[in-house]
Amino acid sequence: MRPRTKKHLEERIARCNHIHITDPCSMKGHWRIDGRPLHLEIGCGKGAFICGMAAKHPETDFVAVEIVRNVIVMAMEKAVAAELTNVRFISCDARKLEEIFEPGELSGIFLNFSDPWPKTRQHKRRLTYPSFLKIYENIMGGAGKGEIHQKTDNRDLFDASLEYYRESGWSLRNVTFDLHGDSIETDSAVTEYEQRFMDMGQPIYRAEAFK
């Protein structure tokens, strides 16, 4: 069942129009400001992670993708409330990213708690599937440019993702099957899902992939 539209949704989105890019294709080649690094989160949810990263790294610019309007409005409101000036939001299908970013325009990509698409016929929709990895490689400028940081609570997706990376020629580092139990040091902000799983004592799987 499709979720009900939030009350006053359009008015709330309009109040965030200074950080909501409604025509992202028109920004292709013009996202970076003064040569600053640009990082992308695909599927930002309610915005805890991207707003946390933007606050921790004012020297870096961020773009967050979220296709569900009921959800992206909460992320944008969080950014506005925190008076963040280095994060922007767009709604798009991840398969269209090459229409939005030029090769080499992005420095890094975050994939946090993405849909695991568990059925075999759905695997090609996983955001770490080889066809998506090719898109990411292109928009980060090819071999030696950029990296992917992935976090998930789904072991099947994580195991498959590690294979997708290897099959597609990506190298791996800082791979952990219990991020907080292993006390891996990262500067990564915590997502809403991550905090929930931490409170439940459920392990978080994390990896960094680079060409």
Active site residues: 115
Phi, psi of 203 (to 5 degrees): -70, 150
Assess contact for 139 and 145: CB atoms under 8 A.
Answer: no
- Bridge partners (DSSP) listed for residue 112: 151
Cα-based angle 126, 127, 131 (whole degrees, multiple of 5) = 90
Burial class (CB in 10 A: 0-12, 13-18, 19+), 194: buried
Measure the CA angle with vertex 122, ends 142 and 103; round to 5°.
15
Are the CB atoms for 39 and 67 separated by under 8 Å?
no
Going by their DSSP bridges, the two strands 61-65 and 87-90 should be labelled as parallel
